[in-house]
Chains A and B, each alone.
Chain A
Amino acid sequence: MGNKTALYATHQAMGGKLVDFGGWDMPLHYGSQIEEHHKVRQTAGMFDVSHMTVVDVTGSQAKAYLQYLLANDVAKLDGNLGKALYSGMLNHEGGVIDDLIVYNLGDWYRVVVNCSTREKDLAWMNKIAADFTVTLTERPELAMIAVQGPNAIRIASSVVTAERAAIIADLKVFQGLPAGDWFIGRTGYTGEDGLEIMLPNEQAPAFWQALADAGIAPCGLGARDTLRLEAGMNLYGHEMDETVSPLAANMGWTIAWQPLERNFIGRPVLEAQKAAGNSHKLVGLVLRERGVLRAEQVVSIEGCEEKGVITSGTFSPSLGYSIALARVPRSIGSHCQVEMRGKQVTVEVVAPNFVRHGKALI
């Protein structure tokens, strides 16, 4: 038996198919992951993401610590209360230990990391923290519910207190603020507008029920995966890991090279890779005929001996055909070959971004 979120019994009662996910018993779907996917693109769906790890960083050197720990620069958040930043947390070899979101909360920061990487993340964060005046506090008492879709904010606002609705109304995209003992962020992992709401575990089942009663569809992690893949968002352990440079994982934009004097973990290696011209990049693949691209399938490109690999692949419910993310040699052109079930199949190469705000981008 795995770890259980505060919503475990609720998922069971609502017919969720519970599976192991990074050591947690989580709902894969509540009947059809494709229907749940469409709900999020067309109206609103909700996900239990309480398995994610929340760590608060406090202390006089909180900012300096995160500026060294992360490839992106939290100084970009200065003066912008609640603003969030996406970043890789790298090792000294320039590989990705994890990707995360950090919120600026004035004199402290809230960091959200993945669940499957929790132990190594905390060990690394604590190790680096030893040289700084900071305190790291994990917040396992918080559940997290992601409400996503074009109608998500409107519906969620209707079932919270007037004070919280007012906070939601003022939230900008990629901003999160405390709301009493809750924390509400206008963030997500679906390519749709929406909220990620942290709240005390004991309040989570009633809030989930209120959202369901207001018409928000409970969705499992299956739909979460197809939604994030359509949106071209990385999943740790697939698009990147400790052996993959962020430059080969479409995370170049998350590396803050300026100011030059900021030293962050992995910087020397990344600068050398950048100067040499990084050998691989992350692209999108599209297969418009039958068949589904899958992770670990081998990608071949004409005139290039070196192979690429599909990092995530799925059937795209929004597009009606298969899409994938693949890490490939930089020399790739407009088409490549993928070995699928023993056959070489020609697929189209596109930017790693397929669907946003309900609209196809390819």
Chain B
Amino acid sequence: MSDIRKELKYLSSHEWARVEEDGTVTIGITDHAQDALGDVVYVETPEVGSRVAIGEEAGVVESVKAASDIYSLVSGEVVAVNETLQDAPETVNSSPYDDGWFFRVKPDDLAELDEAMDAAEYRELIESED
């Protein structure tokens, strides 16, 4: 059974977003996504200082099985990326919601997150996929 965190927002492409105390938004991929991908071997994150936009490719995750584009749930400036993933991409498998986060964005408009799915909607989506 996939771990789905109540406090997070989700995309149908299996990214999650968490609003931090300082108002930035952290992005990663879900437990369901890492399980479906299998062992992650490379992660390509956007560069700090670059801009990401909703609906545009922000990075790539490659596993033993497939390559998959990563999308942001909000538009804005990238303020941090998870350097750990360069040397230890398997962190995405072991800790998708915590140590395995991808990048952090200073959002232009936090209200964009309202468009994303909540935990209940995301659960419904992955259950309908199974």
Instruction: Please name the residue on chain A nearest to B39 by beta carbon.
Output: A34
B93 at the interface (CB under 8 A from A): yes
Contact among A32, A222, A290, A294 with B42 in the assembled complex (CB-CB below 8 Å): A290
Is A291 positioned at the interface, with any CB of B under 8 Å from its CB?
yes
A222 touches B38 (CB 8 A): yes
Any A CB within 8 A of the CB of B118: no
Q: How far is the CA of A17 from the CA of B39 in the complex (A)?
A: 13
Contacting residues of chain B (42-98) with chain A, CB-CB under 8 angstroms: 42, 44, 60, 62, 64-67, 90, 93
Q: A292 and B93: CB pair below 8 A?
A: no
B130 to chain A, nearest CB (A): 13
Asked whether B41 is an interface residue with its Cβ less than 8 Å from the other chain, the reply is yes
- The reply to whether B44 and A290 contact each other, CB–CB distance below 8 Å, is yes
Q: Would you call A222 and B44 a contact (CB within 8 A)? A: no
Cβ-based interface call for A315 (8 A): yes
A314 to B66: give the CA distance in the assembly, Å. Answer: 9
Contact B64 A33, beta carbon cutoff 8 Å:
yes
A-B pairs with beta carbons under 8 A, tally: 36
Q: Which residues of B sit under 8 angstroms from A222, Cβ to Cβ?
A: 38, 64-65
CB neighbors of B among A1-59 (8 A): 17, 28-29, 32-34
Q: B121 to chain A: closest CB distance in Å?
A: 25
Contacts of B66 in A (CB 8 A): 294
Taking CB atoms and an 8 Å cut-off, the chain A residues in 310-360 that contact chain B are 314-315, 341
Choice from B44, B64, B67 contacting A34 with Cβ under 8 Å: B64
Q: Is the CB of A315 within 8 A of B62?
A: yes
Residue numbers in A under 8 Å from B64 (CB-CB): 33-34, 222, 226, 292, 314-315
Closest to B62 in A: A292
> Size class of B's contact patch?
10 to 19
Known contacts: A32-B93, A34-B90, A315-B62. The answer to whether A294 contacts B39 by CB under 8 A is: no
- Chain A residues lying within 8 Å of B67, measured Cβ to Cβ, are 292, 294, 341
The residue on A at minimum CB distance from B65 is A222
Interface pair B39/A32, CB less than 8 Å apart? yes
Residue of B nearest to A223 (CB): B64
In the assembly, what is the distance between CA of A272 and CA of B125, in Å?
56
- Determine the distance from Cα of A33 to Cα of B90 in the docked complex, in whole angstroms: 11
Minimum distance in angstroms from B39 CB to a CB of chain A? 4
Q: How far is the CA of A276 from the CA of B44 in the complex (A)?
A: 46
- Say whether A291 contacts B42, CB under 8 Å: yes
Complex contact A33–B38 (CB within 8 A):
yes
Distance (whole angstroms) from the CB of B92 to the closest CB of chain A = 12
In the complex, the answer to whether B62 meets A291 with C-beta atoms within 8 Å is: yes
Residues in chain A within 8 A of chain B (CB atoms): 17, 28-29, 32-34, 222, 226, 290-292, 294, 314-315, 341
9 closest Cβ contacts across the A-B interface? Answer: A315-B41, A34-B39, A292-B62, A290-B42, A315-B64, A32-B39, A33-B39, A33-B64, A33-B38
Extra 7 A-B pairs, beta carbons < 8 Å, given A34-B41, A292-B42, A292-B62:
A17-B35, A33-B38, A222-B65, A226-B64, A290-B42, A290-B44, A314-B64
